[in-house]
Amino acid sequence: MIDLKFLRENPDVVRASQVTRGADPAIVDQLLQADAARRDAIQAADLLRAEQKAFGKKIGQASPEERPALLAGSNDLKAKVKQAEEAQKAAEDKVVELQYRVDNIVEGAPAGGEDDFVVLETHGTVPEFDFEPKDHLELGESLGLIDMKRGTKVGGARFYYLTGDGAFLQLGLMMAAAIKAREAGFSLMIPPVLVRPEIMQGTGFLGEHADEIYYLERDDLYLVGTSEVALAGYHKDEIIDLSDGPLKYAGWSSCFRREAGSYGKDTRGIIRVHQFDKLEMFVYCDPAEAEQRHQELLSMEREMLGAIEVPYRVIDVAGGDLGSSAARKFDTEAWVPTQQTYRELTSTSNCTTYQGRRLNTRFRGADGKPQTVATLNGTLATTRWLVALLENHQQADGSVVVPEALRPFVGKDVLTPRG
């Protein structure tokens, strides 16, 4: 939710942000007009309430003969106050409605849509095979790691089983990420995967991409697509203590996405599925530190991808592809040999005060006064990583070398085809 004071003082900045996102800048003027109308309505209601209070004193001081006429006037004034308060509430509701339609202010991201990202850096060497490489699903099936057929039989399209060493590979990724997060000062959490509407709304996920989310109508609850949602709601309506530095959490959970609008896209394997596991970092901090904390999350993602030894690149996501809550987002994309391209494995977003304002999460600044907290998030491991891991570490005989960092969890150096 945009800060109205910032909007009044910097309308051109907000208009430019809307343009960078490919959104309509006209909503800025609509919100400014609604805000002015709200302030006028508040002033009108305040004046009538003051008049009503003064009139009440006058009645109290009046003689018995004067009171009937004054009471009649009081009832008329009471009706006017009620009408003014209704007008004030309507004006305030209109402002909130428009506030929720303005996405976070872009900070430094390039303009454009999904294809207008900027490559910031590239790491690792793209493998050159002297054999025809197999894709991750063929490898997963031959090694007994992935069972899509039975996943489809039980859950439908885009569901799967991770079996045997495939399950240990995912658990190894998640454990390695959890340990790394703990060493960096993050508190590990296993959060709820069902949340109330106000939590989902507060994080900015019920906007234009609401059709991606599973909704349980009978319970009025949403299944999360990332533990970011539950972690953002953890301190809703609280004033948190940041005197010792930011609060840092790492949420390990299953995640659920409907993948609406992706029909026919990435239908093979586990690149785009309805359920997956993820370890998500989440930070609450002073807004003045947000950019620094964003770089720290990106560094942790770099180190984790380096630990599983896959080639990757970092991109600066364009404004039109940020999502409503992010002011800036960096994606890390790993090389997928059979597709001859990079595919997203992680992202990290600086949400500035957008989520904090919606969820009423604050901290006390140096002056002791409460102010809105900044929030950031970043993925440290997820099921999709298995795609890049299997394809980049395959060998001519169909085996896959387990990255050294995961061997203590998997218990094997090499995964070999079943005989």
What residue numbers does the annotated binding site for ATP cover?
257-259, 273-276, 344-347
121 among known catalytic residues? no
Q: Which residue positions form the known binding site for L-serine?
A: 226-228, 257, 280, 377, 379
Beta partners for 277?
A: 254
Handedness of CA 173, 177, 183, 186 (dihedral sign): negative
187 among known catalytic residues? no
**Set 107, 212, 289, 344: catalytic member:** 344
SS3 377: strand
Residue 102 in tokens: 């303005």
User: How many whole angstroms separate alpha carbon 118 and alpha carbon 130?
Assistant: 32
Give the rounded distance of the alpha carbon of 390 from its chain centre. 28
- Residue ranges of E strands in 101-180: 118-123, 146-147, 161-162
Instruction: Output b/e per residue, 12-47; b: 16+ Cβ within 10 A.
Output: eebbbbbebbebebebbeebbebbebbeebbebbee
User: How many whole angstroms separate alpha carbon 245 and alpha carbon 205?
Assistant: 28
**Set 17, 301, 384, 391: catalytic member:** 384
User: How many whole angstroms separate alpha carbon 91 and alpha carbon 113?
Assistant: 34
Q: Which residue positions form the known binding site?
A: 226-228, 257-259, 273-276, 280, 344-347, 377, 379
257 among known catalytic residues? yes
**Set 272, 302, 313, 364: catalytic member:** 272
SS3 144: coil
142 among known catalytic residues? no
Query: Closest by alpha carbon to 369, among 235, 239, 244?
Result: 239
DSSP 35-102: HHHHHHHHHHHHHHHHHHHHHHHHHHHS-TTTHHHHHHHHHHHHHHHHHHHHHHHHHHHHHHHHHHHS
Residue 375 in tokens: 């929030």
**Set 17, 253, 325, 347: catalytic member:** 347
The Cα angle at residue 101 between residues 295 and 364, in degrees rounded to 5: 50
- Measured in degrees and rounded to the nearest 5, phi and psi for residue 163 equal -125, 150
299 among known catalytic residues? no
The Cα angle at residue 191 between residues 188 and 193, in degrees rounded to 5: 145
**Set 38, 158, 257, 328: catalytic member:** 257
Count CB-CB contacts under 10 A for residue 371: 15
The residues that are catalytic are 257, 272, 344, 347, 384
